[in-house]
Amino acid sequence: MNAKKICYCLLAGVLAIGSFTGCGNSGAKKVSVPINVAALNGPTGMGMVKLMEDESDKYNISLYQSPDEIVGKLVSGEIDIACIPSNLAAVLYNKTQKGITLLGTNTLGVLYIVENGETIKSLADLKGKTIIMSGKGATPEFILDTVLASAGLDVARDVTVEFMANHTDVASKVITNPGTIALLPEPHVSIAEAKAKTVKVAIDMNAAWQESQKTDLPMGVIVARNDFIKEKGKDLGAFLESYKKSVAFVNKNVDEAAALIAKHKIIPNAAVAKKAIPKCNIVFKDAKESKDSINKFYEVISKIDPKSVGGSIPDEAFYGER
């Protein structure tokens, strides 16, 4: 299948399943030519901000608003490395005939139940309530269904879910309407909290997933084209060293990181960025460390909708085990 046909297939798949979700100075190794890297304008971009600041001569890092903007560029070879939603990585793996490899997890759960009020203290309190959200037929919906089921709630019977076009619309409604309950990802949660003091986090969905599934919730991953790995494996090693340092910098130096996040326009306001960083669960776990949690995540969402992982759960080669 040629790149153009694959691109069309992938774009159709992404639109069908949806996604949301975004990813120091390495002195020891040098990159021979600039590497083209894509990330989403959210948590994955936040995790890369030190790299963007210090090593722009080595890495052409582009930030995108939605995953479907990345798909075609990755398939065509215009992008070497991409930070994308974890379910999209599985779709890409299947649609490109195993043409990409997982490098690791870069973002754990970023979803929260927020309320303009103070009535929700536990999952049980959601019974009989209306939840607004974005992401119909995508991972946010699958995660909500799974977490509610773990608390004995049937999403079709016990709650009413109203879908909106995007997270920005959801945030606007929860800000302006007292009593509204919403499922939102960071950094939209922190933006909403900054605009309305009555908006509060009621339930951390990452913690709820961990409690019910006994594993992490891997929502964002980093992948690379296999052709790139074969051609420039040494450069990839240098990049990963720098990326790990950038993630560590963001988590340990919140004030400085928030200023850089604002500078690079990932989140325009440094104060909001500072508040969002701890709730974005920015990490770096390599493929080996990530394998169990990602495989579990794929098993859960594929039972709800096989298309969410591109029809089948990736095999061992996805994790670089060839």
Tell whether the torsion through CA atoms of 47, 100, 309 and 290 is positive or negative: negative
Cα 198 versus chain centre, distance = 27
Q: What integer pLDDT is reported at residue 195 of this predicted model?
A: 94
Q: How would you label 241-260 residue by residue, b for 16+ Cβ within 10 Å and e otherwise?
A: bbbbbbbbbbbeebebbbbb
Report how far residue 84's alpha carbon sits from residue 200's, in angstroms, rounded to the nearest whole number: 28
DSSP annotation of 131 reads: E
The answer to whether 32 touches 232, Cβ cutoff 8 Å, is yes
pTM, rounded to two decimals: 0.86
Which segments within the chain are labelled E, that is strand? 35-40, 59-64, 81-85, 100-107, 111-116, 130-133, 160-163, 181-185, 199-204, 220-225, 282-286
> For position 233, what pLDDT does the model report?
84
In the chain, what are the domains?
3-107+219-319 (3.40.190.10), 111-213 (3.40.190.10)
pLDDT of 2: 47
Q: Could you report the per-residue pLDDT of 10-66, keeping only the tens digit for each?
A: 444 433 333 334 443 434 455 556 899 999 988 989 999 999 999 999 999 999 988
What pLDDT is stored for residue 28 in this prediction? 42
pLDDT at 14: 38
pLDDT of residue 135: 86
CA 137, distance to chain mean position in Å, is: 16
Q: What does each C-alpha distance from 160 to 35, 116, 132 come to in angstroms?
A: 46, 17, 8
Q: What is the mean predicted confidence (pLDDT) over 197-212?
A: 96
Query: How many C-beta atoms surround the C-beta of residue 45 within 10 A?
Result: 24
* Both structure tokens of 13: 């798949």
pLDDT of residue 31: 54
Q: Measuring CA to CA, which residue among 136, 120, 144 is closest to residue 212?
A: 144
pLDDT value, residue 30: 56
CB 169 within 8 A of CB 20: no
Checking if the pLDDT of 321 tops 80, the result is no
pLDDT digits (tens, 9 = 90+) for 217-259: 999 999 999 999 999 888 999 999 999 999 999 999 999 999 9
Strand partners, 114: 182, 201
Between CA 197 and CA 208 the distance in angstroms is 24
Strand 81-85, strand 220-225: pairing: antiparallel
